[in-house]
Chain A
Amino acid sequence: MTSEVARHLLFQSHMPTKTTCPSSQVSDDEQIQQRDNIRSLTMSGHVGFESLPDQLVNRSIQQGFCFNILCVGETGIGKSTLIDTLFNTNFEDHESSHFYSHVRLKAQTYELNESNVRLKLTIVNTIGFGDQINKEESYQPIVDYIDAQFEAYLQEELKIKRSLFSYHDSRIHVCLYFISPTGHSLKTLDLLTMKSLDSKVNIIPVIAKADAISKAELQKFKIKLMSELVSNGVQIYQFPTDDETIAKINASMNGHLPFAVVGSMDEVKVGNKMVKARQYPWGVVQVENENHCDFVKLREMLICTNMEDLREQTHTRHYELYRRCKLEEMGFTDVGPENKPLSLQETYEAKRHEFYGERQRKEEEMKQMFVQRVKEKEAILKEAERELQAKFEHLKRVHQEERMKLEEKRRLLEEEIIAFSKKKATSEIYQNQTYMTSGSNLRKDKDRKNSNFM
């Protein structure tokens, strides 16, 4: 609280409006406040604002809560079963295959209701993690997914018209990392994955299928795991110990990390109750028995005590880090070239102008090119037109000549016809004359002549 108060007070002293409060009667432990003109008042009666936390809670109840869990672990290690057991529901039934060629992430959202709390729970599972022969690409899809959720939130926050209060927050609040119970140490894949995720999300490592390890081995295994994580610089989520009410329990839980869990939704009769357990020929492993496994601790820490802190850490630490990196990458800074404070607004405006200038230039270029092309096309078309015209002329001329020739021939033919008909007329006259003067000899002659003439 003190650091927050100090920041508030620093801010107060920069306010340009006149502060006229005289700082009389001030108690000793508020000297800082006195220096910056904030007085601590005592009230003479009941005002009634102790209902403020309740008002806040009511509003949150109306809005509902969002919680997103990412489960990372090999196929068949018990991720879905553990989530089912944690939230006491049957979410999903089918087992997934071992033969995927790439790691994928599958997200599902459910709405849970308990008394008056509405929780929108999103479970993201890795599918095919650790199944490939070549595992180099295993953790990249996970990192990309987490970044994508941050990116989506950042986009929404940077919009001009935004609606953050009705935004479905999909950022991952906690990552449950399932370690397989070999009893020896961390696998290389585990180490690499956790190292690449620890600055982006709150990691809680759990030892899965803990009923495969004996108690003695378990203790050694835990110590080995934690020392490996520390020596490799992996930052896992530490339960917060700054609030007195939960500091003690959180501190003791921190010492039990990683939790060794067993998940089961099957019920077995033990004593005279039905409990969730796994039944073996040599005994029954009870899920909610603290001597058998740490399941109850995990549920307590994850849901009952620290859910809100996980959400807050995600928003104030991981998301802010992502945002800062992203904006710096895009070229925004807080301090300009002459060490004068630049605002996001200024940089943004500058970039916008630059962008518009660029766009205008491109538009001009495109216009020029378009005009050029049009000219070229026009020239080509004109050329074609001219050619066609020439051809047409030529054809016309040829046609004219043909016509004239034909005219000529026709005239000749007509003259011949006239000549013939003249000859025919004269021969008919002569025929008539000879017919009258001569006999059949002439007729014969005439016939002969006619036939010769024909």
Chain B
Amino acid sequence: MDPLRRSPSPCSSRPSSPKTPPCEMLGYVGIEAVLDQLKIKAMKMGFEFNIMVVGQSGLGKSTMVNTLFKSKVWKRTLPGLGMSTPQTLQLKSVTHVIEEKGVKLKLTVTDTPGFGDQINNDKCWDPILGYINEQYERYLQEEILITRQRHIPDTRVHCCVYFVPPTGHCLRPLDIEFLQRLCRTVNVVPVIARADSLTLEEREAFRRRIQQNLRTHCIEVYPQKSLDEDINDRILNSKIRDRIPFAVVGADQEHLVNGKCVLGRKTKWGIVEVENMAHCEFALLRDLLIRSHLQDLKDITHNVHYENYRVCRLNESHVLPRGPGWVNLAPTPPGPPATPRPSKACRRAHDNSENDEDY
């Protein structure tokens, strides 16, 4: 028998989870103080959040990130005459520590300049998938060490914001291919970029068509319907799912409107206010990503996507795409070398029975 599957020693009397009779307490004990203890510990440790923005150049990704976190995360990337478009897709990461009211957040933003910019965009999602899998791999390696660190640094991508160009028609083949592959590995939030070029009716129609496309191609974006836990979650998330993809506008310059200083884009026919719900849905995106669902994004990444990766990795270690810096740890079996296929080999943890190899 596999030494790792030895049953626990016989003299244990493990309490089994289902038999828990509820007990009435006769007075106040103070158990709820554990919530404060939790908060204190969390604030001391600090939080981490890793976000990735994907989209063609010129859609306003960097500006959007600056607007979300209200600071100059990136330097302005104006395509000047001297700067050439990158020949291949490169990934750039930047890490900052931001603090608000005692809460420290370590934010990592990964940008993907060059995505979809070439003439032939075939397999342009491979470096991105490779990067995401490499972060999972790093975490996995840390987790299976004998002497582990107290707190494993989390560089896994928690959320990927995909910028859809505002054509007004429907999703393009590149979008569909990319979304199909990425939805299985990471939480994807699609947004309609530069939405100030569409009127409100056009936006609605575009949104409905995109939702239709997503349904037809079975692409599950965040918040995933299959991961709703209870009825409250489902109600809350249905409202969000109804508005996805959000039509957003990014701006990092302030203008004076009605005596107030607001972030917006100044045009000859008016000022597009970023935080005005009547103008664009930036506020919804910000609320989803930061104010209400940040912890949920991290949880789903950890409990679902990372576990899926781990199952795949521990079962078949030679089929995953290789990102930069990939180290092949397990010896590959002799035979024709496997071409790097995208992670279609990974299936969800809870709808899978074929990978169930019992050691």
Contact = CB atoms under 8 A, between A and B. Distances in A.
Contact of B295 (A33, A59, A105, A111): A59
Contacts of A56: 38-39, 42, 295
Interface stretch (B13-21, B167-175, B214-222): B13-21
Nearest to A161: B311
Contacts of B47: 49, 52
Contacts of A112: 22-23, 25, 29, 31
A299 B27 CA distance: 13
29 contacts: A8-B106, A17-B92, A19-B94, A21-B94, A38-B95, A38-B97, A39-B95, A40-B99, A41-B73, A49-B105, A53-B43, A113-B22, A117-B32, A119-B31, A120-B17, A124-B15, A145-B13, A148-B14, A149-B14, A151-B8, A155-B8, A161-B356, A303-B33, A305-B37, A324-B146, A328-B146, A334-B145, A349-B330, A349-B331
Contacts of A305: 33, 37
A394 to B, nearest CB: 57
Interface in A179-216: none
A158 to B, nearest CB: 6
Given A47-B68, A52-B295, 9 more contacts: A30-B97, A46-B70, A50-B100, A52-B294, A55-B293, A155-B5, A307-B33, A309-B41, A312-B41
A333 B105 contact: no
Contacts of B325: 16
A47 B33 contact: no
A47 B100 contact: yes
A144 B13 CA distance: 10
Interface residues of B, number: 105
B141 interface: yes
Interface string B142-165: 001111111101010000000000
B294 A49 contact: yes
Given A334-B146, A343-B141, A61 B15 contact: no
Contacts of B291: 48-49, 51
Nearest to B41: A308
B278 to A, nearest CB: 20
A50 B102 contact: yes
- Nearest 8 pairs of A and B residues by beta carbon: A148-B12, A168-B17, A55-B295, A308-B37, A16-B325, A344-B144, A50-B101, A304-B33
A328 B292 CA distance: 43
A247 to B, nearest CB: 11
Contacts of B35: 57, 60-61, 117
A33 B71 CA distance: 18
Contact of B314 (A144, A145, A160, A245): A160
A4 to B, nearest CB: 6
Contacts of B150: 4, 316
Contact of A41 (B69, B307, B324): B69
Contacts of B92: 17-20
B96 interface: yes
Interface residues of A, number: 113
A224 B291 CA distance: 54
Interface of B: 2-5, 8-9, 11-17, 19-35, 37-47, 68-73, 75, 90-103, 105-106, 110, 131, 141, 144-151, 153, 155, 229, 263, 286-287, 290-296, 299, 303, 307, 310-311, 314-315, 317, 324-325, 329-331, 349, 356-357, 359
B299 A48 contact: no
Contact of B9 (A17, A43, A147): A147
Contact of B23 (A22, A91, A243, A320): A91
Nearest to B293: A55
Contacts of B359: 352
B159 to A, nearest CB: 13
A15 B93 contact: yes
A100 interface: no
A208 to B, nearest CB: 20
A81 interface: no
B148 A320 contact: yes
B71 A42 contact: yes
A100 to B, nearest CB: 14
Interface in A331-357: 332-334, 343-346, 349, 351-352, 355
A141 to B, nearest CB: 6
Nearest to B233: A62
Nearest to A22: B75
Contacts of A52: 42, 47, 103, 105, 294-295
B91 A88 contact: no
Interface in A370-413: none
A284 B5 CA distance: 56
A303 B91 contact: no
